[in-house]
Amino acid sequence: MTLFQDFGITPELITILAIDLTIAVILLTLMRYLQGWSIRVNSSKELAERDNFAFGISTAGAVAALGIVLTGAITGAAAPSYLTEAIGMSAYGLFGLILIKLGRFLHDKIALNELDKNQQIIKGNVSVAIVDASVAIATAIIIRAVLLWAEDLTIDTFIAIFSAFAISQLMLVLLTRLREKRFASRNQDSSMQQALAQGHTAVAIRHAGFMIAMALSFNAASHFILFNPTAYVTNIIGWLVFSIIMLVVLTLLLFVIKKLVLARINLADEVERQHNIGIAAVEMAISIAIALILTALMA
């Protein structure tokens, strides 16, 4: 026991870690089953009997997303009591789970308004599932950043978190519309959403990279906006302004860097017309890498 105490490990700390881990496991399990309930299918049957890869990818994205959110709920500081720790972890975890589900719902109805995402996933459309998983992960990255930005456990805190979440969803829709416009301009006004519905995996991978990169760059705003739970309008304006700035900076950087890293490669032709998944994967990696570097620099 003395050895553990030398490293700051006490019985109280072990108990708090056990509480956090137990709640995390319960919430992750709940998320897995919510995937099936939300589209009215049996998750066990879809995963193990029908071997529905699309449903598996979508579920994986949801579970990973909740795990990311929970890392924002776990602050590392011990609460005054075990009950307070359990309430705080449960409240942030459940709120994060709700926001992930809400984010996916809004993205389905607004951003991907030309297709029925749930029906596509039930049919086994891997491309749509990749986009769905990336939306969940992008939303989770943003929620985590906001949870770390916010303080205390009050109604004003949750309002502040929801305000930043709302701005992030607006930015994800804006990014999707911009990507759709570029896709249409290069493909005789074809619809990117219809390409996804037809199973265009390369486009799905590239788009997933852009969304996750935007979510990572969104983190930078939390380093510049001072947390004031009652400054509702200031919070919304602050998140909106910094998100737009970061989106513009990220877009310009990616344009230049992809020209250098993938020189002498026609990206539009390779990804959009030749369905080159390899090139799309490299594009995705570059997008996420630059966003991580940009976020680190801003921190």
| Average pLDDT estimate for 195-202 | 94
Sign of CA dihedral 154, 157, 159, 162: negative
Tokens representing residue 216 in the block: 């990572």
Sign of CA dihedral 116, 121, 126, 132: positive
Q: What is the dihedral of CA 32, 57, 89, 142, to 10 degrees?
A: -150
Provide, for the chain, the percentages of residues in helix, strand and coil under a 3-state DSSP scheme, each rounded to the nearest 5: 80, 0, 20
**Which residue, chain included where needed, has tokens 């995937």?**
35
pLDDT tens, position by position, 23-82? 888 888 888 888 777 777 787 788 888 888 999 999 999 999 988 988 877 755 556 677
Given this model, what pLDDT does residue 80 score? 67
pLDDT at position 75 is 57
Q: If you average pLDDT over residues 219-238, what whole number do you get?
A: 77
Question: 86 CB contacts (<8 Å, ≥6 apart)?
Answer: 19, 23
DSSP alpha helices (H): ranges in 77-187?
82-106, 117-122, 126-149, 155-186
112-123 pLDDT per residue, tens? 888 889 899 999
**φ, ψ dihedrals at 276, nearest 5°:** -80, 100
Model pTM? 0.88
Contacts of residue 40, Cβ cutoff 8 Å, sequence gap at least 6: none
**DSSP SS3 for 276:** coil
Q: Of the given ranges (106-120, 202-216, 230-244), which has the lowest mean pLDDT?
A: 230-244
Instruction: Measure the CA angle with vertex 248, ends 247 and 250; round to 5°.
Output: 65
Contact 128, 196 (CB under 8 A): yes
Q: Which residue has the higher pLDDT, 164 or 256?
A: 256
Domain spans, the chain: 2-298
Per-residue pLDDT at 153: 65
Render pLDDT for 250-291 as a digit per residue (tens, 0 to 9).
889 999 999 899 988 998 899 999 999 999 999 999 999 999
CA dihedral in degrees (258, 261, 263, 267; nearest 10)? -40
Are the C-beta atoms of 106 and 136 separated by less than 8 Å?
no
> Rounded to an integer, what distance in angstroms lies between the CA atom of residue 258 and that of residue 193?
24
**Average pLDDT of span 200-221:** 90
